[in-house]
Amino acid sequence: MVKFQKKLILFFIILFIGFYGCSYNDDCCNGKNPEQPNSVEINFPQNGATFNVGDEIIFKGSFKASNGLETYIWTSDVWGNIGEGAEVIVDDLPSGIHIINLSVYQNENIIDTYSIKIFISSPYVNKPPDTILINTPPVSFSDNHFVRFTWIGVDPEGGDLFFKYKLESSAYEGEWIETANTESEPICINKSGEYTFTVLAVDTDGLEDITPAIFVFTAEACT
């Protein structure tokens, strides 16, 4: 009797597997889990494509079972909505990593989506250096004096700098002096008047500081 019950239980287990399990040829029995092919595809650009800011990018998509009545919606996780249609052209995506999604709708019902990742790079922009005076003479003095100026330069790109400086007064216009140093030669002030010292940094590409450092002082010198 016990053996008969065991056989009966085994029979029902086999019957259950036959109805609710899978056959040897099924993927689930073989440990496979194949992905269903997408009905929507992004044909261009390719996943991982790189562009520069301002580039014109043509996005092209397709739907395998198209009947011409679909609506194609393109979005970026960074920029939001970027266009509608099987093909859209965009030239204003900001720099960064964008996840581009193409969603296809029929009668306002979403059918499928497809996503790729693209990279938008910022082109190199050389910014002008900055110049800061750190040591100056008094703003006014009497008698003859030697004056000296020191400064620092800051390049946003971290490159090397050289400097141009000049001293001029109401009586004469000075000439630019170029140097790699961050201080001027001692200058003898032996004439009275108002003086203007100007110094500016220049980077290796020749880009000059657009806001030079300027110092104005007056002297009552012995003539």
Q: Are 173 and 218 in contact (CB under 8 A)?
A: no
Task: Specify the DSSP class assigned to residue 68.
Answer: S
The confidence band for 38, taking pLDDT boundaries of 50, 70 and 90, is: low
Burial of 98 (0-12, 13-18, 19+ CB in 10 A): buried
Give the global pTM: 0.52
List all residues 6 or more positions away from 213 whose beta carbon is below 8 Å from its beta carbon.
131, 132, 133, 151, 198, 199, 200
CA distance 103 to 115: 9
Helix (H, G, I), strand (E, B) or coil at 172: coil
Does 36 score more than 90 pLDDT? no
The confidence band for 176, taking pLDDT boundaries of 50, 70 and 90, is: very high
In this prediction, residue 108 carries a pLDDT of: 84
Mean per-residue pLDDT, 7-14: 43
Structure tokens given for 159: 């490159």
In this prediction, residue 14 carries a pLDDT of: 41
CA distance 73 to 38: 16
Closest CA to 92 of 76, 107, 106: 76
Torsion region of 111: left, alpha or beta (phi above 0 gives left; psi -120 to 50 gives alpha): alpha
The confidence band for 223, taking pLDDT boundaries of 50, 70 and 90, is: low
Mean per-residue pLDDT, 173-202: 94
CA distance 88 to 56: 10
In this prediction, residue 185 carries a pLDDT of: 93
Phi, psi for 210 (deg, rounded to 5): -85, -5
Does 3 score more than 60 pLDDT? no
**Residue carrying the six token digits 């009947």:** 67
The confidence band for 157, taking pLDDT boundaries of 50, 70 and 90, is: confident
Mean per-residue pLDDT, 26-45: 63
The confidence band for 2, taking pLDDT boundaries of 50, 70 and 90, is: very low
Sheet holding 40-44, edge to edge: 40-44, 57-63, 87-90
Does 69 score more than 50 pLDDT? yes
In this prediction, residue 49 carries a pLDDT of: 95
Does 21 score more than 50 pLDDT? no
Task: Specify the DSSP class assigned to residue 78.
Answer: T
User: Worst-scoring range by mean pLDDT, 27-41, 60-74, 172-186?
Assistant: 27-41
List all residues 6 or more positions away from 154 whose beta carbon is below 8 Å from its beta carbon.
129, 130, 131, 132, 201
Look at 3 and 169; give whichever has higher pLDDT. 169
